[in-house]
Structures are given as C-alpha cells and as structure tokens.
Amino acid sequence: MKEIKKDEGKKTLVEVEIFNQTFTVTSEDDEQYVRKVASYVDERIRQIGGATRTVLPLRIAIMAALSVADEYHKACKRETEIQQEVERFSAALLERLEQSEKLDNIATSESPARTFTAGGSTGASEEEAKKESLSLS
C-alpha cells in the first residue's frame, strides 16, 4: 500500500488492499485516513467472510456493506439522542441560572436601603453595622 501521487487539486491517489484485491482510491482526505478506512472495510469483510458459509466475494462484500451501514445509522441515532440530551441539560441549566438571578435580584431589592446622616454615618446602629460586617466576611 503506497501513495501513488498527489495532484494540484489536493486529491490523493492511494493504493490499498481490501480482501486480497488492490484498489486505487482517489480522495481529498490524507493518505493515513484513507488507509484507516480501507483497513476497517477489509477487517469487516474478513469478519463477515469468516462467519458465513458463502465464498462469493460479492455476497460477502454486500453483507459487510450492510453491516457498516447499520453501524453508521445507529451511530447517527446515538449522536441525535446525545445532542437532544445536551439541549435538555442546557435548557435546564439556563432555567436554573435565570431563577438564581431572580432570587439574587429579590434578595438585593429587599435589603434595607442605607441613608447617610448629616454626620456622615449611616442610619444603622453600630451593632447592626458589626453584624453586617461579620456576615459579609
């Protein structure tokens, strides 16, 4: 298995072997990726061929293609389910953040407003000021 050539359109011709047959694959993907995919296809065909009684390469290839297509569709379904779950968690998190902001706004609007007296001190007693400073620490 060797890379044959790379033309200016970034397409690569890669020679691969699948089920004892040599194929030249034209791809925009890099050689390593093409080899990985070809290796996977070869592995699946050999796995199906070893598990069935048929020796007809076309039947084995079709059965392997069906198996790969099944994996693909199941993976797509899992991806959709995961995406929906992420969206549900995101919506729940956003809702909780909004609730938290509302509670913070309520808490800050209910705290007593301080006014300054002519002497520069607040209207709160010294004892209240000590309690507040302790609770803020």
Cβ 40 vs Cβ 74: under 8 Å: no
Q: Give the predicted TM-score (pTM) of the model.
A: 0.61
Domain count of the chain? Answer: 1
Containing domain of residue 9, as a range? 3-99
Residue 72, burial from CB neighbour count under 10 angstroms (0-12, 13-18, 19+): exposed
User: pLDDT tens for residues 18-41?
Assistant: 999 999 999 999 999 999 999 999
Residues 6 or more apart from 31 whose CB is under 8 A from it? 3, 12, 14
Domain-embedded: residue 31: yes
Tell which wins on pLDDT, 135 or 66.
66
Domain-embedded: residue 36: yes
